[in-house]
Structure 1
Amino acid sequence: MELPEYLKYSEEHLWVRSGNGRSVRVGFTEYAADQLREVVSIELPSVGDEVAIGDVVGEVESVKSAGDILSPVAGVVTQINDDLDANTDLVNDDPYGDGWLFEVELGDDDGVDDLLDADAYAELIES
């Protein structure tokens, strides 16, 4: 299972990648995508939404289950992956690339320092 070292991870199986300045991109880990199996629908936050760590920002439904998407960081949503409207398979096929979910411009207490590195996340999913 792929766990890129340059990403941070949440205990809710989302990855966070730093972008330009205070912007981050968020998506499901490969582990989460494997657990979901085939994603059939996904609801994402709206651009401009203010999110706090742990806020429900969307919902994912797969052939196996349905669940909430919890924000791993705090800030303002600046972009969502519109490609997922027409092609939810991207979440399963390319979770660290084209299957990303949304971007956030981080606030002051953004929570990034509290996220897991790849080794700590690997320990989490192995236990």
Structure 2
Amino acid sequence: MSIKYTADHEWVQIEADGTATVGITVHAQDALGDVVYVDLPEVGKSYAEKEVAGVVESVKAAADVYMPVDGEITAVNEDLRNDPALANTDPLKSGWFFKVKLSNPAQLDALMDSTAYDELVKNS
């Protein structure tokens, strides 16, 4: 299991079975403030890389959640839908947004590792 990051502040945890779990990063939830609502994608729907797959709304702003790679949604986090604050309190674990079956795993190579992502955040 490894974790990759997008420039749009999503994290992607790659599983051995060809699926990935997606959520927003600590930096993203810090910038948003208290999350009050999430709009999650429909299970079974396929999305292209960089297509909007959901929305996260906070007391300060709303932000799109982008699909990091091509794939089909296999699960959404109903706990997050019922308690959007999980995106703030535990963004890298229980605050995940959705799971996706990868259509093109090679796209993962274009995502950042933690060092590159930390550098991006530091310079933004």
TM-score range, shorter chain: over 0.9
Unaligned residue ranges in structure 1 (runs of 5+)? 1-5
Find the residue that maps to 1:58 and give its secondary structure: strand
Q: Report if the CA contact (8 A) 1:42-1:59 is conserved.
A: yes
Please, which of 68, 81, 88 is the counterpart of residue 92 of structure 1? Answer: 88
Percentage of matched positions with identical amino acids: 41
Secondary structure at 1:124's aligned position in 2? helix
1:121 pairs, out of 101, 105, 117, with 117
SS in 1 for 2:38: strand
| Equivalent residue number for residue 44 of structure 2 | 48
Q: Give 1:73 shift.
A: 1.2
Letter in 2 for 1:7: I
Name the aligned partner's letter for residue 22 of structure 1.
G
Give the total of aligned pairs.
123
Q: Which stretch of structure 1 is more off in the superposition, 75-84 or 14-23? A: 14-23
- Root-mean-square deviation (CA, aligned residues, Å) is 1.4
Q: Find the aligned partners of 1:74 and 1:110 in 2 and give their Cα distance.
A: 10
Task: List 4+ stretches of structure 1 deviating above 2 A.
Answer: none
Unaligned runs of 5+ in 2: none
Deviation at 1:110, TM superposition (A): 5.4
